[in-house]
Structure 1
């Protein structure tokens, strides 16, 4: 185990914000964490787990000890008649993992292509796109207790998945609560890809692509290509223009609230949900408030998609947070809806 000092983090957060880790340890396996916890100097030190850095806003140098997750490896755990179970190390790039599954003829994750971040971060955020969420393909994961060094396994119910949410985003309110924020580091994640494979094409963008192509029964690779093309046309590449993807969650409202808003804003984009609530498009709400293309300092709202905040070059985390709060205020004042950010502010 090597503790690095004053490590630049600009390349390790997708916003490209300049910051440093005062101390950083690269975690490539269980033993690295256990060695750290056995080290008297660092055992009780506050810790911050850093995966792909695609869901954070750094507002300054990181004071806690940074655990940079770099655990590699992909393997097939089970390939049965009803499903294939595949395990990936938490440090594996998410899009590379999705691509690997298709290259090896294991479809099921194609709707989640081109989402930035790492495999280990995917269940934390319960990432989703185009009608599929991680919880729909999740089998189990291994994590390590950052206090004891014990490795444990969680199934779907124990992860408490919700819309862009999981047990890993919550701090326990009282002893005995299951919140694991700051208490655990994900080591490996396993995904169950069902057989026979069936495409998920319910989203309008995918339906449009199918109609335009004339392909009524697309392969998983075709769906993957469509998703990549759609995302590339709407979302900036973090390697070119720093961003954290969709910055705000799509809010849900009651049918009565939705009817009230439609009476004032007939063109609002909304989607009925299975539980009877209605999901509103946060990007539409932000655009309606006139934010698309505007900036606060070097932080701005992407010209092609109002849901994405970008670093126009040299933006600070404070500028990103200020912009986000100004957007939240505008949307609340006009629609009475509070937008909830997806990224974690550090």
Structure 2
């Protein structure tokens, strides 16, 4: 199942709010539709958001009617600002948009059509590189997974959260493909149930054994000796290795430490924000109360109750056993090991 694809000048986005009940694609012919899809989690997961935003910028520029280079650049910056504002935590969003803007500004072309084609090419490259990078994450990560491992994961860091294959689920897929006979426990991930709706759906398609648990069962699962390691994705990683990921991740890391279990984070290097010294600097998105007070449109809390609904939390680097990237696996001290990855492949 493709998370997104580009067809005849239209971005087709799989509407993840409809899964697992219905497979339906959104036709995005303008950047406003892409922005709405990102804001309302129709497309989600840091790498997928980045790729979708890149195509959204293309759509915004194509419809601008810019007569010259200056007008096109101004329009590109305007659209990029609008897309960046949709979700503040996932760094891949701004990373992808800044990459496209930098490509535009570095070009000496003056023709708006030529500049637009350059943008399309760069968006395709981001999509392609993410898919290839996820498969490398899988290859690196599966070496950390023992035969027969029982793996706990949180939220959805699979093909649906990326251009394809996945980060945390990419590690699990690669271990499965290597014949390691792994099995998975998937947290349901309140309040929007990405684990229950999306992760279990993906794993069932792949015929990887999966058991669904509620978020508050994880501690007892570990205490019973029923899990061997935890692997999660990330929406932003600070330079010191602090990790922002879906709310509930921090709790799992604390539990893994208490029970002596490895806690792995899988993410491409583009998710590392080297401009932020620590997780204290990561902006945490807070979402609307209805996500907590209602479930599938049905009230589950009394009217008027106050709600705090942060979408992410920050796991301190000291609780992370290793970070699995598309350039290799790094371990503490992350300030040194993550920076070292920037030199890999250069």
Scaled by the length of structure 2, the TM-score of the pair is: 0.28
User: Normalised by the size of structure 1, how large is the TM-score?
Assistant: 0.28
Structure (1 or 2) with the greater helix fraction: 2
